[in-house]
Each structure stands twice: as structure tokens, then as C-alpha cells.
Structure 1
Amino acid sequence: MGRTEYWYDASAPKPNTLIPACNMLVAREVDGAILLQRRRDTGQWALPGGAMDIGESPSQCAVRECKEETGIDAVAIGLLGVYSPPEHVVAYSDGEIRQAYEVTVIGCPVGGEPTVNDEADGVRWVLPGDLDSYDIHPSMRRQIAHYLEGAYPHVD
């Protein structure tokens, strides 16, 4: 299913859903590298994350999504923030138009190897100094910047 993201764009369609999602910002202690995946649906690099399932907490969702999308096992160690600006709209090809609502958890890697899958065609550790050379959506850049600046927990 295709998707188009709108970021502070007056031409964005009006949302018709709000679904909680959780991301995980995983950083290696040794060099500060951040785990990113390249999304197959947009081609952009992003933090691993996705929709919460009924019966799981935000941290459980973030841990699950990280493993599913990157192959990396991580534990939740903190809260980066809650991100839901009404100006971040995601339109899906099936007609769903979602206002983004993301709880982003900070994680520490404990195992696994970067692995591509049906959602990500690239998974890698990226040093903070190299982030500018990656195509990263502004919503993800904002979350990463908050982490690197120590500006958390953040709440929109």
C-alpha cells in the first residue's frame, strides 16, 4: 500500500483516522550511531516503528516493531516524546488519511543483526555526523534532533 506524507502543507487532505503508533530510537553506546531503516513504501530512512496492537504498551510496541523492521533486539530505556502535530498527515492509497500520533521510545540494543525485510529494504547504524547525507522525513529528523540535543521528553 502506498502512502504520501504531508508536513505542514496547506494542501494536505483532512485526516479521517488517528491510530497510536510507537517508534524506537536505538543508539549504540560505543559510538552514538542511530539505527535507521529505509522504508520500502517511501524510500526514506526512518526510525523503526508502527501501529500499536491492542494489549501492548507503547514500549512493548516499540520493541516489537524494532525487531520486526530491523532485526535488532532492543530494550526500552526512556521516553523521547509524544509526537502528534496536526500538520503531519499521512494519506494511504486505500483512502485512510491519518493524523500522525507517535510515541517515541529510546532504546538500547541488546542483540540481533541489521536485517532487511518486507517493510525495510535497508537497515543500518548511522553516525550522527552522517545523518545529513540520508533522505529522512522532517518528522523523523525532528525526533532525532530532539534526542541528539537532549531535548526530551518532548510533547506536542
Structure 2
Amino acid sequence: MSIKVGINGFGRIGRLVLRAALANKNVQVVAINDPFIDLDYMVYMFKYDSTHGRYKGTVEAKDGHLIVDGKNITVYNSLKPEEIQWGAAGAEYVVESTGVFTTIEKASLHLKGGAKKVVISAPSADAPMFVCGVNLDAYKTEYN
């Protein structure tokens, strides 16, 4: 059984998170939110990455969804994290990769949409930070 993830922000980091998830059978991206990127441009940017090269699989837009290698990903375009229906899409975890919602208070707004945990990809003023191979053992399950 794979964990289901949502990505908030489909810029450089959000696209890297999707690529990493696609390479891991234990992670499934079920939703992406980005109010500034339309679906067709999401397809283009993911397919033709200027740093990582062309994506070798299939990428298309269909019925308001991003389809990558046959996997259906719900796309939202909300400016407000609390309005994104992560739970309806099945996302348990949200990767906050906009660089905007980096405090505990702001990132916690994703929980209102049904997410159980939020991972902030940028440095935070008040959220604990973990680095694999450095201090990951300090993580506590009560962190949201």
C-alpha cells in the first residue's frame, strides 16, 4: 500500500517531488495545487524540464487532471491552502513547495482540507527541520 501525497506548488521543487514519487512504488501523488500554472503548462513543464531533461514516460492533460504514466492526478488552482480538498483527492500528506506557507500556522491550513501531515520543503521560521542522514531520528510522530 502506498502513501498518498498532494503537492502544493508545481514549480521546480514540486516537479522534483513528483519525479521522485514516480520513481518510488510506495508513494503516489494524487493531487497538485498551483493557482498560477494552468494544466496545459503543467504538462509542458513536466515533460520538458530544462534541468532534468525530457520526461521519458507519458504526460497529458485529460478532463482537468494531469495524467502521468497512466496515473490520474487531480489538479486544483486555489490560492488558499484551507480551500484545497486534499482529503477528497485522497492525499494524506502534503508537500508544501510554494515557499509561501512556511510557518506552522500557515502550513497547518492544509490540514483543514483533509491532509494529515504537511512537509515544508523550504526553511521555516518555527517548524522543526529534518535532513535525511543528519537528524531524521529526531522526528516525532506527533508533528503535523
User: TM-score scaled by structure 1?
Assistant: 0.25
Higher relative contact order (CA 8 A, sep 6+): 1
The structure that is helix-richer by fraction is 2
Q: TM-score, normalised by structure 2?
A: 0.26
Give the structure with the larger strand fraction.
1
